[in-house]
């Protein structure tokens, strides 16, 4: 019985015929056909076609000027370089980017988009270097109860000698009050302080920041939508970093007074929460309380 030629089959056929006419493509084909089933090679070609299609859509000028043979491994690697340079880092291993791998392994290819956490610190593993963190991070760790027990200073200032002892971590209501108190300071970088809390707890909603560095990598399929989404997230991650640095500089201008002010805001939120009888209540508990209110 004759098989129907689908679009994917036609694309794979044409691309594979073009690839095997290049030295690296021929090597790929021989390796795959020697070690794996035929469909593995077809899947490899489909990945290459997906990358080249994104290359054509996102970087049309570079694609048109490319001197690499069509459908070749070299052209795929050009695309990786462009994504790595203009969109987001393609980190294959911890500390090794795609450029290193291409230089080391000429037939290197990425079957998926590798995502590795881009936060500069590992909050769990770098605990001993907490004094090197920016002040907003140190404060966020202190107030959320995540500061190592043997650390009793923030930016060189001791507590309770230099600034008040902070209240224990607040629950849902206290956190809402604290957020509100930070956000009312619209003209000061203090409004960025909640961001430091989200960063240390990996809850920013941004994939590049929410993936802890020590947990390895996540993988996403190559598609124009994913590349665009991850690029935007990368831009936002940079903005978060700039915001925290601005806040760090703001603290340095008047260290003692400004840290004390943050502790005051925190303690005030904790006190109000306790007085209202909502101490220790989580967001889920709050939802249940509100649902049970008489209408």
Partner 1 sequence: MGLIKIEGKEVSLPDAIIDAGTSAIRAALSVDFPDVENADIQIVSPTRAGAPKAATVVKRGTGKGSAQREVMESLAAAPEYVNPAIAMAIECMAEETRGDQEAIMRVIRSGAMERAVAEGEREGLAVHKSQVACGHAPPIAARKVPIGF
Q: Please state, in angstroms and rounded to a whole number, the distance separating the CA atoms of residues 105 and 224.
A: 26
Cα distance from N-terminal residue to C-terminal residue, the chain: 69
* Cβ-based nearer residue to partner 1, 72 or 138: 72
Report in angstroms how near the CB of residue 8 gets to partner 1 at its nearest: 8
Report in angstroms how near the CB of residue 237 gets to partner 1 at its nearest: 30
**Any long-range contacts for 248-256 (C-beta under 8 Å, 24+ apart)?**
248/134, 248/135, 248/136, 249/189, 250/188, 250/189, 250/190, 251/135, 251/136, 251/155, 252/135, 252/155, 255/135, 255/155, 255/156, 255/157, 256/157, 256/162, 256/163
Report in angstroms how near the CB of residue 52 gets to partner 1 at its nearest: 8
CB 240 within 8 Å of CB 199: yes
**5-24: contacts with partner 1 (CB under 8 A):** 5-7, 9-11, 13-15, 17-18, 21
93 - beta bridge partners? 96
Q: Token digits for 24?
A: 């690296």
# residues contacting partner 1 (CB under 8 A): 18
Q: Is 91 helix (H, G, I), strand (E, B) or coil?
A: strand
Report in angstroms how near the CB of residue 292 gets to partner 1 at its nearest: 36
157 - beta bridge partners? 154
Q: Token digits for 143?
A: 């107030």
* Cβ-based nearer residue to partner 1, 71 or 133: 71
| Length of the chain, in residues | 295
* Cβ-based nearer residue to partner 1, 24 or 244: 24
**68-97: contacts with partner 1 (CB under 8 A):** 69-71
* Cβ-based nearer residue to partner 1, 45 or 172: 45
From residue 136, alpha-carbon distances to 59, 119, 194, 242, 258 in Å are 38, 14, 9, 12, 11
- Interface region with partner 1, contact rule CB under 8 A, candidates 4-12, 32-40, 247-255, 284-292: 4-12
259 touching partner 1, by CB under 8 A: no
Nearest to 287 by CA among 169, 144, 172: 172
Report in angstroms how near the CB of residue 41 gets to partner 1 at its nearest: 16
Contact flags string 29-68 toward partner 1, x per CB under 8 A: --------------------x---x--x------------
* Cβ-based nearer residue to partner 1, 54 or 130: 54
Report in angstroms how near the CB of residue 20 gets to partner 1 at its nearest: 10
Contact flags string 148-177 toward partner 1, x per CB under 8 A: ------------------------------
Question: What does the binding site for partner 1 look like in residue numbers (CB under 8 A)?
Answer: 5-7, 9-11, 13-15, 17-18, 21, 49, 53, 56, 69-71
């Amino acid at each position: 019985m004759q098989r129907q030629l689908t679009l994917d089959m036609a694309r794979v056929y044409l691309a594979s015929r073009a690839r095997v006419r290049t030295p690296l493509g021929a090597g790929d084909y021989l390796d795959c056909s020697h070690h794996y089933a035929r469909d593995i090679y077809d899947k490899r070609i489909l990945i290459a076609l997906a990358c080249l299609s994104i290359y054509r859509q996102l970087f049309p000028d570079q694609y048109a000027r490319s001197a690499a043979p069509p459908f070749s491994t070299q052209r795929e690697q050009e695309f990786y370089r462009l994504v790595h340079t203009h969109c987001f880092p393609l980190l294959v291993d911890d500390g090794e980017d795609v450029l290193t791998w291409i230089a080391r392994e000429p037939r290197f290819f990425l079957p998926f988009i590798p995502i590795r956490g881009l936060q500069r610190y590992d909050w769990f593993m770098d605990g001993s270097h907490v004094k090197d963190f920016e002040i907003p991070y140190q404060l966020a760790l202190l107030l959320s109860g995540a500061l190592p027990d043997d650390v009793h200073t923030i930016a060189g200032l001791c507590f309770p000698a230099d600034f008040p002892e902070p209240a224990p971590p607040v629950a849902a209501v206290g956190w809402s009050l604290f957020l509100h108190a930070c956000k009312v300071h619209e003209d000061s970088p203090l409004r960025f302080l909640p961001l430091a809390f989200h960063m240390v707890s990996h809850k920013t909603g941004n994939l590049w920041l929410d993936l802890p560095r020590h947990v390895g990598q996540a993988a996403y399929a190559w598609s124009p939508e994913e590349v665009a989404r991850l690029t935007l997230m990368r831009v936002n991650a940079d903005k978060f970093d700039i915001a925290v640095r601005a806040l760090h500089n703001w603290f340095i201008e008047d260290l003692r007074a400004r840290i004390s002010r943050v502790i005051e805001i925190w303690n005030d939120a904790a006190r109000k929460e306790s007085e209202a009888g909502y101490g220790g209540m989580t967001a889920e508990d709050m939802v249940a309380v509100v649902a049970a209110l008489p209408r």
